[in-house]
Amino acid sequence: MPLRSIVTLLFILLSGAAQAATILVWGDSLSAGYGLKAGEAWPTLLQTRLTREGFRHTVVNDSVSGETSSGGRSRLPDALARHKPDILILELGANDGLRGLKPDLLADNLAAMIASAKKAGARVLLVGMRMPPNYGPAYTQRFEATFADIARTHKVGFVPFLFDGFADRPELFQADGIHPAAEAQPMILDTVWRGLRTMLKG
């Protein structure tokens, strides 16, 4: 191969690498793949879809089972410095709700994480969650509204409910009734994708 062709090829490859972007998934067990086999969780399916549709993004899934919004807030600055994401998918809060923590605390933590991500140059897609009705209407309504309020106030992308379309289908959950089964992961991906795709095109 002529030297000029080699130089041209290297330039193209290096240019493509420079344009690659990182999507950081920052969540709890619902994104970490709890109870699933390798490759079944929705963040892995997201990487497959991005590649299939021609997006040059790399998905980094740094989700931790059992994580609360307070834990995620404390870990986030180091992750932002390490991964330098272009997009942060923020999926935290479910464990706050299951523990009955105050929505005001959740709101404060979500706002702080969004501010940190923006300061680091990342755009944010916030993913909402809902609590079962046995937590009482006052708490469940305030909990759900927290995500929408934060997304609106801080002007970030928003997916209202991670379990949209299957929350009332027990056959799509694992035996604990909390974590979605492998069959539900493509549905979660479709839900997240609806909020993410406009950010990708942007």
Q: What is the pLDDT of residues 120-169, one digit of tens each?
A: 999 999 999 999 999 999 999 999 999 999 999 999 999 999 999 999 99
Q: Establish whether 29 is a catalytic residue.
A: yes
Bridge partners of 127, per DSSP, are 159
Q: Catalytic: which of 5, 15, 168, 176? A: 176
Q: Average pLDDT for residues 18-44, to the nearest whole number?
A: 94
- pLDDT-based confidence at residue 191 (cuts at 50, 70, 90): very high
CATH 3.40.50.1110 matches 20-201? yes
Q: How far is the C-alpha of 86 from the C-alpha of 19, rounded, in Å?
A: 11
Q: Catalytic: which of 63, 69, 179, 190? A: 179
pLDDT of residue 5: 45
Q: With contact defined as beta carbons under 8 Å apart, do 45 and 185 qualify? A: yes
Q: Establish whether 65 is a catalytic residue.
A: no
Sorted by sequence, the CB contacts under 8 Å of residue 146 that are 6+ apart come out as: 93, 103, 106, 107, 110
Q: Catalytic: which of 5, 15, 29, 57? A: 29
Side chain identity at residue 38, one-letter code: A
Measured at the CA of 93, the angle between CA 90 and CA 95, to 5 degrees, comes to 130
- pLDDT-based confidence at residue 19 (cuts at 50, 70, 90): low
